[in-house]
Structure 1
Amino acid sequence: MQYYYLVAGLTEYPFDIEAAAAGGLKIDVPEIKRTILGELAPADRRAVELLYTYYDILNIVGYVKRTGLPFNVLGNLSHKEVALLVDRTVEGEGEGTLLPEELAAREEELDVPAAIRAVVERFRGGQAEEGAGELAPLSVEDLERELFLNFYRVCEGTAEGSGWFGLVARLPEFLRRWAEYDRTVRNIVAAYKARQLGWPAEVRARMIVEERQELREAYVSGLAQDFGMRDRFPYTEEVLQVLETEDFVERERRMDALRVRMADDLAEQDYFGVGRVMDYLIRLNILYRWTALEAGRGREEFRELVAGLTEAEAIGRATARR
């Protein structure tokens, strides 16, 4: 479906990370997101909501690990809904006011892709899906990797079952390719830093979000400088150049600028379709995370945040935040 009037009417914001981090650029992305969703056809609306499931995963991981990072309001789920999904608890209501079946019914109503829900159920020690047989519960350390593995499966149309309300087969090409690009960047960043720090293969393996054995081996134990990705991923050289930037904040800024260029390039094939809408939202999402830092203290606050993390946690944040 084409959205000529919607695309033509989108407010253009300068992609100025410095201004955003300094408090000079205010964008109400949650409200813009709500407005745009109201203009989309049902299938496209679900696809955009799936794009924002990325932030639900960050919130789920933050809730489970008690990271102390601010709740990301870009996600589809509220803080209470994340608590319900993970713990089957309802904040603000006294213990014992809801029966287990009532909690389960509320949790089932949440807008969460089936593949993501299955991971959370495994984490709780339950079954992935009816009739699948009992699976070993996930550890806290494995939860984030499995959530993102299944997120990319759904976006790329490879998740088992009906995916999210039967829309897997009709997901936009932009979303499929963006998910592939995003996963590749995440893995290159993780593999590069792990190699740089000399971490053993078993630690590297836990950081890589990839199911294809050939690619996993390239990321974990491959000797090629580019992890064998130069012929597979058109932005490999640029990602590696960004990773050579010593200053962490400047590296983040350059990586975000590259992500925006990747989204822009993908949207050229669907300029008045939902691909262009997603491209627009990705750009705003990236600016929003910089504007979320305290005005005038963007760089300093970012440094303080990273300084409070272990090196492994810092790498995890670098591969996840966008």
Structure 2
Amino acid sequence: MFEKNYYCLVAGLREYALDSDTKGFDAREIIAEILEEVSSGDAEAVRLLYGYYDCENIIALRAGRSAYNPLGNIPAEELEQELASPKALPKAMAQVLKDYAATESEETEGVDLSLGFERALLTAYYEECARSKSRFVRQWAEFDRTLRNVTAAAVARSMDRRVDSVTVGKGDVVAQLQRSSAADFGLRGELTYVDAVLAAVNDEQNMIEKEHKIDLIRWEHAGELASSDYFNINAILSYLVKINIVARWSQLDPKRGRAMLDRIMAELDSKELIK
């Protein structure tokens, strides 16, 4: 199957960033513009990428917290209804909500309730991504899950907590994190970024600095996954991952958010030169 190319859309990505500079950064507006331009199949991939933030928002709502990330697909005013009667979420994620809402007398449909709600919902999200038709979504989700697991395992170890209580999903890396006593969990030869993650967690007392270092790992990997893509949905998804990081840092540290936005524009300029 041939991938659809978006020559005009990709050419306009830099303009979205420039508009953000003059009008104020609005990631949700950029996402909406992109969703209007891409095919229905590619729009599905975009929405699935943002399903992670739906998970965050639903977890917060269920826990009684007021936090809401506007990057989620589901508007804040519709979250409570979605939690009670899921219709917008992908099937596996919706099933988690249904099973946790079920009374003890009702049967559940294969969701491991022993995981706890948060880990069960995130596991379902990553399973949905693994089945995506989008190569970028599949590879990005696997990387993102692994990065979060390594980070969570390192933090758990530093606090003398059980690693298996914080990891999401299954697989060789998860098994290694849970059983290894090595400083690098025995993953140095498998994950090129493991030392950088462990250094950020173990050596950095400043939480903002730690998060910044880990987000830089995300940034680099998003670029690597689309390094040979210029006009297709992979290039756009890679751009959106970086937009998400800019959105986060625009709130945490506006100066760093500005620097990251400049970096996006520089990277887009370099692709123009290659083209």
Question: Which TM class, normalised by the smaller chain length?
Answer: 0.7 to 0.9
Using CA pairs under 8 Å that are at least 6 residues apart, name the structure with larger relative contact order, 1 or 2. 1
Deviation, 1:230, is 2.4
Deviation, 1:233, is 2.4
Number of residues of Structure 1 aligned to a counterpart in Structure 2: 248
Q: Does 1:281 align with 2:240?
A: yes
Deviation, 1:9, is 1.5
Note the alpha carbon deviations across 1:226-279, whole angstroms, 9 max, x for none.
223223323222222322322111111111122111101111132221111011
Cα RMSD of the aligned pairs, angstroms, is 2.8
Paired residue secondary structure (2:50): helix
Match of 2:272 in 1: none
What are the residue-to-residue correspondences of 1:69-108 with 2, within 5 Å? 69=67, 71-88=68-85, 107-108=86-87
How many Å separate the matches in 2 of 1:294 and 1:25? 18
How many Å separate the matches in 2 of 1:173 and 1:113? 18
Deviation, 1:186, is 0.5
Is contact 2:200-2:214 (8 Å) kept? yes
Match of 1:114 in 2: 91
Structure (1/2) with the larger helix percentage: 2
How many Å separate the matches in 2 of 1:245 and 1:148? 27
How many Å separate the matches in 1 of 2:228 and 2:188? 23
Match of 2:213 in 1: 254
Is contact 2:96-2:111 (8 Å) kept? no
Match of 1:145 in 2: 119
Q: Which 10-residue stretch deviates more, 24-33 or 1-10?
A: 24-33
Unaligned runs of 5+ in 1: 15-19, 89-106, 158-167, 299-322
How many Å separate the matches in 1 of 2:111 and 2:144? 28
What are the residue-to-residue correspondences of 1:187-202 with 2, within 5 Å? 187-199=149-161, 201=162
Paired residue secondary structure (2:185): coil
Q: Does 1:236 align with 2:194?
A: yes
Unaligned runs of 5+ in 2: 258-275
Q: Does 1:68 align with 2:66?
A: yes
Structure 1 residues 215, 264: closer, same or farther in 2, change over 3 A? Answer: closer
Is contact 2:112-2:120 (8 Å) kept? no
How many Å separate the matches in 1 of 2:198 and 2:23? 29
For 1:176, which of 138, 150, 153 is the aligned residue? 138
Match of 1:268 in 2: 227
How many Å separate the matches in 2 of 1:245 and 1:150? 32
For 2:33, which of 32, 35, 41 is the aligned residue? 35
Q: Which amino acid aligns with 2:39?
A: A
Is contact 1:123-1:137 (8 Å) kept? no
Structure 1 residues 126, 181: closer, same or farther in 2, change over 3 A? Answer: farther
Identity of aligned residues (%): 33
Match of 2:10 in 1: 7
How many Å separate the matches in 1 of 2:111 and 2:14? 48
Structure 1 residues 282, 68: closer, same or farther in 2, change over 3 A? Answer: same
Match of 2:101 in 1: 124
TM-score (norm 2): 0.81
